């Protein structure tokens, strides 16, 4: 079978594109510099389609599909940026902000937060929903890092980075629906868990939910770019 048999053609936002079979809509869009907002997706980790920000319209279907997990097919016509999608994305962001306690002004990730950046990019200026203001805890038991559940958006990047890349799988999710919370081990303190202290979860966290104690007061940008590199080196071995 020749290589060209695996090539599919499709249209994204009016652009005629060709892509490899098995690619996701998000991969093809990003390869062609078409921006689709994401929060739970991270290059180097598996996709879970949790945040729903990457929902796109497919011609001929009423269903919106998450671009990070939807594969392309021949002749597909995709719209990534309609008014309907913009509205849905703003509602998703509003829900994220209203769900927990996101106080940018005093957050360690202020200026380096993916949630904050996305709100600015999509033009979210007000939260019309009532804030839930839940009383959530802070786990400061780890010698190097802190987990502040007030700022967690349940993207599960930490869970995937720890399980898929580090192989420790100390992070997981407890509870259901709005009561879900990320935990370490069997809901033990992070400091007394089997954590390898590698810090990958902190670098993957899109908000200030996981942070390095020594960065308080300083700029705290996260550097998750090492993930695809780690994968590449493992495959080469």
Partner 1 sequence: MTQTITIDPVTRLEGHGKITIMLDSQGQVEDAHFHVTQVRGFEKFSEGRPFYEMPSLMARICGICPVSHLLASAKACEAIMAVRIPHTAAQLRRMLNMAQMVQSHALSFFHLSSPDLLLGMESDPVKRNIFGVAAARPDLGLAGIGLRRFGQHIIELLGTKRIHTGWVVPGGVTEALSAAHRDEILAMLPEAYANVKLALTAYKQIADSFSQEIEVFANFPSNYLGLINEDESIEFTDGALRLIDPTGAIIEDGMTASRFTEVIGEAVENYSYTKFVYYKPLGYPQGSYRVGPLPRLNIVKSMGTPQADKELAEFKQLAKGPIESSFHYHHARLVEALYGVENIERILTDPLILDKHVRATAGVNRLEGGGQIEAPRGTLNHHYKVDENGKITWANLVVATGHNNNAMNRGVLQSARAYVKDGKFTPGALNRVEAVIRAFDPCLSCSTHAFGQMPLVMTMVNADGEVVDQLIR
Q: Can you give the binding site for partner 1, defined by CB under 8 A?
A: 105-106, 108, 137-138, 140-141, 143, 146, 191, 213-214, 216-218
Please report how close the Cβ of residue 35 comes to partner 1 at its closest, in angstroms: 30
Nearer to partner 1, 138 or 178 (CB): 138
Burial (0-12, 13-18, 19+ Cβ within 10 Å), 68: buried
Please report how close the Cβ of residue 191 comes to partner 1 at its closest, in angstroms: 7
> Partners of 71 in the beta sheet?
24
Nearer to partner 1, 7 or 136 (CB): 136
Q: Which residue has the tokens 């306690």?
A: 101
Asked whether 33 and 138 are in contact (CB, 8 A), the reply is: no
Please report how close the Cβ of residue 106 comes to partner 1 at its closest, in angstroms: 5
> What radius of gyration do the chain's Cα atoms show?
19
Please report how close the Cβ of residue 146 comes to partner 1 at its closest, in angstroms: 6
> Partners of 138 in the beta sheet?
148
CA atoms of 57 and 59, how far apart (whole Å): 7
Nearer to partner 1, 216 or 232 (CB): 216
Please report how close the Cβ of residue 228 comes to partner 1 at its closest, in angstroms: 31
Nearer to partner 1, 25 or 107 (CB): 107
Nearer to partner 1, 128 or 218 (CB): 218
Please report how close the Cβ of residue 219 comes to partner 1 at its closest, in angstroms: 9
Please give the structure tokens belonging to residue 209.
């939910």
CA atoms of 159 and 157, how far apart (whole Å): 5
CA atoms within 13 A on the CB side of 196: 13
For 219, the 3-state DSSP assignment is coil
Nearer to partner 1, 117 or 138 (CB): 138
CA atoms of 155 and 49, how far apart (whole Å): 9
Q: Show the CA angle centred on residue 223, arms to residues 221 and 228, nearest 5°.
A: 160
């Amino acid at each position: 079978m020749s290589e060209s048999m695996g090539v599919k053609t499709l249209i994204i936002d009016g652009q005629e594109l060709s892509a490899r079979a098995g690619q996701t809509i998000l991969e093809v869009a990003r390869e062609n510099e078409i921006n689709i907002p994401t929060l739970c997706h991270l290059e180097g980790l598996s996709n879970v389609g949790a945040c729903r920000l990457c929902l796109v319209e497919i011609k001929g279907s009423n269903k919106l599909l998450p671009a990070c997990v939807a594969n392309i097919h021949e002749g597909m016509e995709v719209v990534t940026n309609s008014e309907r999608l913009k509205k849905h994305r703003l509602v998703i962001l509003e829900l994220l902000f209203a769900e927990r306690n996101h106080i940018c002004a005093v957050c360690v990730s202020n200026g380096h937060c993916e949630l904050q950046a996305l709100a600015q990019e999509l033009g979210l200026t007000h939260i019309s929903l009532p804030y839930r203001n839940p009383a959530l805890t802070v786990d400061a038991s780890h010698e190097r890092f802190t987990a502040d559940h007030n700022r967690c958006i349940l993207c599960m990047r930490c869970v995937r980075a720890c399980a898929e890349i580090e192989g420790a799988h100390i992070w997981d999710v407890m509870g259901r629906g709005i009561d879900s919370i990320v935990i370490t081990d069997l809901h033990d303190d992070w400091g007394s868990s089997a954590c390898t202290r590698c810090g990958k979860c902190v670098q993957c966290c899109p908000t200030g939910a996981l942070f390095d104690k020594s960065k308080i007061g300083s700029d705290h940008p996260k550097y998750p770019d090492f993930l695809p590199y780690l994968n590449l080196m493992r495959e080469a071995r």
